[in-house]
Amino acid sequence: MHHLLPLLAALPLLGAALLVVTGRHLPRAAAETTGLVFSGGTAALALVLTLNSSPPMVEWVGGWLPVDGESVGIVVVGDGPALGMAALVSLLTVAALAYSWRYFAEPPPGHPGAFTALMLVFQGAMCGFALAGDLFNAFVFFELMSVVAYALTGYRIDEARAVQGALTFGVVNSLGAYAMLMGIGLLYARTGELAMTKIGRGLDTAAAGHGGPDGLVLASFVLVLTGLLVKAAAVPFHFWLPDAHAVAPTPVCMLLSGVMVELGVYGVWRVYGTVFAGPGGIPAADLTRALVTLGTVTAAVGAVMCWYQRHIKRLLAYSTVAHTGLFLVALGVLTPEGDDGIALYVVGHAGVKAALFACAGILLDRYGSVDEHELHGRARELPGVAVMFAVGAVGLAGLPPFGTALGKGVAEEAVGGPLTVVYVAASAITAGAVLRITARVFLGLGPRPRDARSDLETSGTGERPETSGPLRRIPDTMRTVPAVLLAAAFAVGVVPAFGGLVARSVNEAGSGGAHASVRWTAHGILLGLASTALAAALAALAVTRPRWVAAPGWAVPLRRLQSGHVGDYVAWLLMGVTVLGALALPGVLGG
Amino acid sequence: MNRLRLWLLAVGGAGLTALLVAACPGLPRFGGRSHPYGERAVRASLDRHTANTVASVNFDQRAYDTLGEMSILFAAVLGCVVLLRQARDEHRARPEPAAVARPVRRYALIVLPVALVTGLYVVAHGQLSPGGGFQGGVVAATALHLLYLGADYGALERVRPLAVYETSDALAVCAYLVLGLAGVLAGTAFLANTLLPYGTFNTLSSGGAVPLLNAAIGMEVASAVVVLLATFLDQAVEIEEKQGS
Amino acid sequence: MQILPYLVAAYVFLVGCYGLATSRNLIHTVGCLSVCQAATYVLLLAVGYRDGATAPVFSDVEPGSRPVVDPVVQALTLTDVVVGATVTALLLALVLQVAKRHGTVDPDELRELRG
């Protein structure tokens, strides 16, 4: 069974290559079917392997099995979290491909399968990254995933914003990746190894010689985490995300927000747990300080910025930033319950967020706009989409029994105390913003907002539909996909065995063998209900008394920071490196 | 430039500098002897009769990394073809024949075959001497573009049917993957170099699957570079904005 | 002297970052990114160097007769070079489209995507 692990990366790549070989001679429908077959086949393989991932599997690619504990090969890890992420990636790719079925206006001349092929490479790259047990191999798949994502983000070259957003995305993420590679170089210098577990052991051995971690460990920790946190869009590394997600084609947004950003969080979990968790690494207290601080700020900034958006896709992008903050906080407390909570939260969030983007895409293709003000009341004719948007909003808030609510409840109990407030507030504000959109755009409630043009914000007007003209009728595929995704997010919370399964496989892979049970608690349900009620109240207030919740003066500087200038974003990235270093410093000084 | 960015840059840059400088004393002495992975790699390479250890690392021990690397190139080519396609408000113009100075033409046409053969040589000897699929592929692809210097764009286009190169790029990727899958089908492991005999040390057929994977990469890189340069040259030479738009 | 190569790598990375943050031309920005990447080459190759060693190619060196430098970092650097070249190509393609759609390659003049 374990020999099949690398195929999760190889199969989609093979599909992509075959599509390019035959692409010129295939009709479009055949190319898209091929894409679905390959990504669906990979998804099936990922699911089968996930169900067999206990005990965790390990595969040495090329058959370079370790001799006396030493190997020259690359190790691929097939434990629950890795295979679970690969399965999530694959299922979401299938959904995105189904959503884009006969969807794009004009495939590049002579390349009817190019978009599908790029999506397949993206899937293979994300699966490869999820399974990587070798640090340099993780970097390679990280770069592959980035490169495809840049190309997919800039896919609509006729749009000025699309190419600018893709370029910003490319520069910031590549710089993060190079920082990560510098960190890998430092770790290789210290330990002479590349497999993550071997590096971890090497650090411990070296630290035993001269008492605790030193400057090199700190620098490599900060540099490697910088790359991963740029991908995870933690403040202040997050600026690229709204710019890229607002302009990428809708099916790509579903993948970017649904899984790619979360893979950054997953990478932090994997790298800390296998490389830096030992006595030669970064002490747990320092990691907690760093991640909880960054996570809280990220959740706060994401939620506030989300609330003040009028561009619907940008609004959803900021809600992803806020939720990543929540994931980082729960990851930072380093408890088995926290890990279980985020795992479930990530799965539920992927379904909900992808469905919301899919609905936003329907608006874009139907009206050529994703602007809250311009679309006021115009989408009354789409009751089905309205229901899905509202359901997505309450899913985002964490209304029981959605999967997001189960994950959020477990995570809230793990973090405990005042941090619970962050969870309730961030999920309520982001969900409130989505409910506000539902009320204004789909129901036409409240006064039409006055259209004050300012250079402070990006409006969603004047966008070109992604189809070959505004849609008269919404195709069945575009309606079905968000419905199925929402149903899946619901099922995550409802199917009783699922939570236990996820918790078991997460704890088996990390958390030092400690098992935590995952179940609905009164505490979690109450907090979920409270977030939803708060979200509904915020939305109602925004619609009926817009003045009361209009942007206050202090939010203006915060919004000005999102300047769209790539130089600013790079300066913030450097600042983030410094902050991360300062937050992790005490343990190194003390050691 | 605004003041905030300068401050961020100053503070952030100082922090990063401090971090990197703090790491330096912890690094092993420059030129030191301790390279555990490197020594294992040399031994493994000699065991499998591959004279060029770097090729053994790339195409045997860490061939899975090379798969990712090759996919990055493949994806970038596909991405550039998509990003530099003809937009709605553009059209294609015929490239105009251009006058070329005679010495340039003579030089280019003499060097072209030499460069092409050199590229192929470097690819073929990948497992024996420095070089290999990546390096040789780039040389071979560059050789073709001497036609652009020596003659003109039209001449280059005649020897460069893009569809063929795009297909061969993708076929090379398929070949690499199929060679990898053969290991799984044979019951060993993905990309396992155990199916072919390792041959005589320091000959062209040594190293088992290394020469095959190396050749696939050579083909991929050569085709990919041709296509990549073509998409950029098209922008410069052929694609123009429509009048009045 | 012993840590000079590492300091060079750090310096190159920092210079690249400075260029990225202060760039007035997007083509220059992409170039600065390559500078940052060059730092990773310097670091990797410096880490793999060994005093008095030759290239890890045994077609004309008897195995075991001379020390060789670490072949793993060389392979990593090769991968890194390919990654760098392709990322540069893709980003330049995007700069080209930015120039067409916005009519400028000065990041200060790109007025979209704010707030």
| Listed residue (A20, A15, A21, A18) closest to A37, CA to CA | A15
| A468: pLDDT strictly greater than 80 | no
Compute the distance between CA of residue A438 and CA of residue A143 in angstroms, rounded to an integer.
Answer: 37
Q: Evaluate whether A229 touches A287 at the Cβ level (below 8 Å).
A: no
A167 and C40 in contact by Cβ < 8 A? no
Displacement of CA A567 from its chain's centroid (Å): 24
The helix/strand/coil state of C57 is: strand
Q: How many helices (H) and strands (E) does chain C have?
A: 3, 0
- For A541-557, the pLDDT digits (tens) are 998 888 787 777 777 88
φ/ψ region of A223 (left if φ > 0, alpha if ψ in -120 to 50, else beta) reads alpha
Neighbours of chain B (3+ CB pairs under 8 A): A, C
pLDDT of residue C61: 86
- For A389-425, the pLDDT digits (tens) are 999 999 999 999 999 999 999 999 999 889 999 999 9
pLDDT of residue A486: 96
The domain locations on chain B are 2-241
Kindly report whether the peptide bond that precedes residue A109 is cis, defined as omega within 30 degrees of 0.
Answer: no
B235 and C2 in contact by Cβ < 8 A? no
* Side-chain-side CA neighbours of residue A316 (13 Å): 34
pLDDT of residue B244: 45
Q: How many CB atoms lie within 10 A of CB A255?
A: 28
Compute the distance between CA of residue A25 and CA of residue B27 in angstroms, rounded to an integer.
Answer: 55
**Chain C residues in contact with B54 (beta carbon < 8 A):** 56-57, 71, 74-75, 78
**Chain B residues in contact with C73 (beta carbon < 8 A):** 38
Interface residue A219 vs chain B (CB under 8 A): yes
pLDDT of residue A343: 94
The CA distance from B106 to the nearest CA of chain C, in Å, is: 30
3-state SS track over chain B: CCHHHHHHHHHHHHHHHHHHHHHHHHCCCCECCCCHHHHHHHHHHHHCCCCEHHHHHHHHHCHHHHHHHHHHHHHHHHHHHHHCCCCCCEEECCCCCCCCCHHHHHHHHHHHHHHHHHHHHHHHCCCCCCCCHHHHHHHHHHHHCHHHHHCCHHHHHHCCCHHHHHHHHHHHHHHHHHHHHHHHHCCCCCCCCCCCCCCCCCCCCCCCCHHHHHHHHHHHHHHHHHHHHHHHHHHHHCEEECCCC
**Chain C residues in contact with A163 (beta carbon < 8 A):** 94, 97-98, 101
Q: Evaluate whether B83 touches C97 at the Cβ level (below 8 Å).
A: yes
**Phi, psi (5° rounding) for residue C35?**
-65, -45
pLDDT of residue B204: 84
- For A514-572, the pLDDT digits (tens) are 777 788 899 999 999 999 999 999 999 998 888 787 777 777 888 888 888 999 999 99
The CA distance from C63 to the nearest CA of chain A, in Å, is: 19
Neighbours of chain C (3+ CB pairs under 8 A): A, B
In sequence order, what are the residues at sequence separation of 6 or more whose Cβ sits closer than 8 angstroms to the Cβ of residue A191? A198, A199, A201, A202, A203, A206
Take residue B170 and report the two structure tokens written for it: 């993708």
Interface residue B235 vs chain C (CB under 8 A): yes
The DSSP element (H or E) to which A57 belongs, if any, is strand A57-61
The CA distance from A567 to the nearest CA of chain C, in Å, is: 4
The CA distance from C75 to the nearest CA of chain A, in Å, is: 11
pLDDT of residue A453: 61
Closest partner CB to B80 (pick from C59, C82, C89): C89
- For C57-95, the pLDDT digits (tens) are 998 888 888 899 999 999 999 999 999 999 999 999 999
Give me the helix-helix angle, A419-437 and A312-332, nearest 10°.
160
B64 and A74 in contact by Cβ < 8 A? yes
Q: Evaluate whether A189 touches C47 at the Cβ level (below 8 Å).
A: yes
Q: Evaluate whether A340 touches A477 at the Cβ level (below 8 Å).
A: no
| C28: pLDDT strictly greater than 90 | yes
B25 and C3 in contact by Cβ < 8 A? yes
| Listed residue (A14, A42, A80) closest to A502, CA to CA | A80
pLDDT of residue A452: 63
Bigger pLDDT: A449 or A391? A391
- The CATH class of the C4-53+63-109 domain is mainly alpha
Q: Tell me what ipTM this predicted complex has.
A: 0.97
The helix/strand/coil state of A233 is: coil
| pLDDT values of chain B reduced to their tens digit, one per residue, 245 residues | 588 999 999 999 999 999 999 999 888 888 888 899 999 999 999 999 999 999 999 999 999 999 999 999 999 999 999 999 888 778 888 777 778 889 999 999 899 999 999 999 999 999 898 888 999 999 999 999 888 888 888 888 888 888 899 999 999 999 999 999 999 999 889 999 988 889 888 888 888 899 999 999 999 999 999 999 999 988 888 777 765 43
pLDDT of residue C11: 97
- For B80-111, the pLDDT digits (tens) are 999 998 887 788 887 777 788 899 999 998 99
Q: What is the dihedral of CA A525, A526, A530, A532, to 10 degrees?
A: 20
Compute the distance between CA of residue A23 and CA of residue C91 in angstroms, rounded to an integer.
Answer: 25
| A512: pLDDT strictly greater than 90 | no
**Phi, psi (5° rounding) for residue A394?**
-70, -30
Compute the distance between CA of residue A42 and CA of residue A47 in angstroms, rounded to an integer.
Answer: 9
What are the distances in angstroms from CA A154 to CA A158, A249, B88, B117? 9, 8, 15, 38
pLDDT of residue B1: 58
DSSP A127-185: HHHHHB-BHHHHHHHHHHHHHHHHHHHT--TT-HHHHHHHHHHHHHHHHHHHHHHHHHH
Nearest-CA residue of chain A relative to C111? A564
The CA distance from B70 to the nearest CA of chain A, in Å, is: 9
Q: pTM higher than 0.90 for the full model? A: yes
pLDDT of residue B245: 39
Take residue A537 and report the two structure tokens written for it: 């109240």
- For A171-224, the pLDDT digits (tens) are 999 999 999 999 999 999 999 999 999 999 999 998 887 777 889 999 999 999
Closest partner CB to C2 (pick from B29, B54, B232): B29
**The dihedral sign for the CA sequence A298, A304, A307, A308:** negative
Q: Evaluate whether B101 touches B153 at the Cβ level (below 8 Å).
A: no
pLDDT of residue C8: 95
C9 and A140 in contact by Cβ < 8 A? no
Interface of A with B in 148-167 (CB under 8 A): 148, 150-151, 154-155, 157-158, 163
Closest partner CB to C79 (pick from B27, B65, B75): B65
DSSP A381: G
Cβ-count burial B224-237 (b if 16+ within 10 Å, e if not): bbbbbbbbebbbeb
Compute the distance between CA of residue A100 and CA of residue A92 in angstroms, rounded to an integer.
Answer: 12
